[in-house]
Amino acid sequence: MSDLKNRIAGLSEEQKKKLTLLLAKEKQKKVNAEIVPQPKTDGIIPLSFAQERLWYLDQLTPDNSINNMAGYAIVRGDFKIDTAKKCFDEIVKRHETLRSTFVLTDGKPQIKFNPDAWDNHIDINLRNSLNPDKASEAVQLMVKDAQVPFNLENGPLVRFMWLQTADNEWFVYIVWHHIISDGISTNVFFQDFIALYESMAQGNTSNYSPLAIQYSDFAIWQKNQFEHNLVKDQLNYWKEKLRDVPQLLELPLDFPRPKIQSSEGNRVQLKIDSTLTEKLKQLSQKEGVTLFVALLSALKVLLYRYTGKTDLVVGAPIAGRNRKELTNLIGCFLNMLVFRSTFNRETSYKNLLQIVKKTTLEAFQNQDIPFEKLVDELQIERNMSSNPLYQVGFSYEESR
């Protein structure tokens, strides 16, 4: 090592610059390299950072259904239920994350895979129900089931329900724990199901090709990114961006903040009509920003009006699938990005748009740092009464 240091010290300034550029390029190659199947030593599979957070939350509040994710589709026509079940089982076999449980090994949570799919199909026939509104009855049963918690250690972490409401109508329902899924995973699942069902219903055998990588490969790759300092520049950005960040946004409250957060909540819906939506789109186009930036800026104006604070932090979910090899995987890739904007009382809305635009672009350029890792690296004091870094979230989805 000392010989290497001496050789580097003996380089000219021009040679040192070239060496620095070469090392930077090599590092970027490693960052951009495709995720490939990872060696799994002794069958021990680490959790991704997002999974670790969900696992610890489950330990703090077991028997809780807050992280259950449910969805359903209505199928009408000549529906072959036995074929559909085979399709679901094929999908479970293909995606190992759907066969996973989480066990404690040497004091650390690890992933364990069940080699076979569980028999986790629930059949409910509502055709003879006395309830005239069988569709509503089906929805009520699904809502009730979605509140049944999963056991991360014993599994299974996914359930299927088939509710027949008429001779030619079925509700196809799936619920799974967030630790093995996210919103896009639901789309992936049903896309796989449709493709498989169309093939198998015609008498064809499953020609389901194995996945190039599994979610566990992503989890190992993600940990390696940090162990080898491949995302150090992104981490340094966040450390600087969130230096002296406010720990709590003091919103005016009707009641004292509880010492421990509950999962209870409520919803107030406000619809932005088409006229106002069109005006927002026109303003966004004129100012060179996206509708996401315009709405996030408006939210920050509202928070300023409520709190009088000009240093505001808002969290927003992103898909976390910015690599093509993750597109068709089922798993928990969701990440929370933190958008911090500072301004003054004289800042106009148009100027705020540019401030938020800059913050947003930078955040997306540095999105590979998991929120859980960011909290640890910043040594943010965890408090059971509030979420770390941000207490207000903003979720934006393009209409389809």
Same domain for 290 and 322, yes or no, is: yes
- Say how far apart CA 79 and CA 311 lie, in whole Å: 56
- Say how far apart CA 99 and CA 34 lie, in whole Å: 25
**Residue 382: predicted pLDDT:** 83
Is there a domain that residue 263 lies in? yes
Is there a domain that residue 360 lies in? yes
* Residue that terminates a domain, selected from 183, 216, 249: 216
Same domain for 167 and 285, yes or no, is: no
CATH number of the domain enclosing 238: 3.30.559.30
Same domain for 59 and 178, yes or no, is: yes
Same domain for 246 and 208, yes or no, is: no
Same domain for 307 and 266, yes or no, is: yes
- Say how far apart CA 388 and CA 381 lie, in whole Å: 7
- Say how far apart CA 325 and CA 320 lie, in whole Å: 12
Is there a domain that residue 288 lies in? yes
Return the half-sphere exposure (C-beta side, CA atoms, 13 A cut-off) of residue 132: 0
Same domain for 55 and 176, yes or no, is: yes
| Count of domains for the chain | 2
Is there a domain that residue 57 lies in? yes
Is there a domain that residue 4 lies in? no
CA–CA distances in Å: residue 164 to residues 85, 88, 130, 160: 14, 17, 14, 13
CATH number of the domain enclosing 194: 3.30.559.10
**Residue 174: predicted pLDDT:** 96
Same domain for 163 and 309, yes or no, is: no
Same domain for 162 and 252, yes or no, is: no
Same domain for 52 and 184, yes or no, is: yes
**Residue 203: predicted pLDDT:** 84
Q: Which two tokens stand for residue 118?
A: 């569980």
Q: Could you tell me the residue range of the domain that residue 87 belongs to?
A: 41-216
- Say how far apart CA 340 and CA 354 lie, in whole Å: 13
Same domain for 251 and 359, yes or no, is: yes
Give the long-range contacts of residues 118-121, CB within 8 A, separation 24 or more. 118/92, 118/155, 118/156, 120/156, 120/158, 120/159, 120/160, 121/85, 121/88, 121/160, 121/161, 121/162
**Residue 65: predicted pLDDT:** 94
> Which amino acid is located at 281 in the chain?
K
3-state secondary structure of 62: coil
Per the CB < 8 A criterion, the answer to whether 47 and 109 are in contact is yes
Which residue, 153, 149, 154, is CA-closest to 177? 149
- Say how far apart CA 244 and CA 222 lie, in whole Å: 27
Same domain for 205 and 238, yes or no, is: no
Spell 351-390 as b/e; 16+ CB within 10 A means b: ebbbbbbebbeebeebebbbbbbbbeebeeeeeeeeebbb
Binned average pLDDT, 10 residues per bin, the chain of 400 residues: 63 61 51 78 83 94 92 93 92 94 92 83 94 96 97 95 96 97 94 91 80 95 90 95 94 88 84 94 98 98 97 97 94 97 96 98 97 93 88 86
Same domain for 249 and 195, yes or no, is: no
**Residue 400: predicted pLDDT:** 57
Is there a domain that residue 171 lies in? yes
Is there a domain that residue 382 lies in? no
Is there a domain that residue 177 lies in? yes
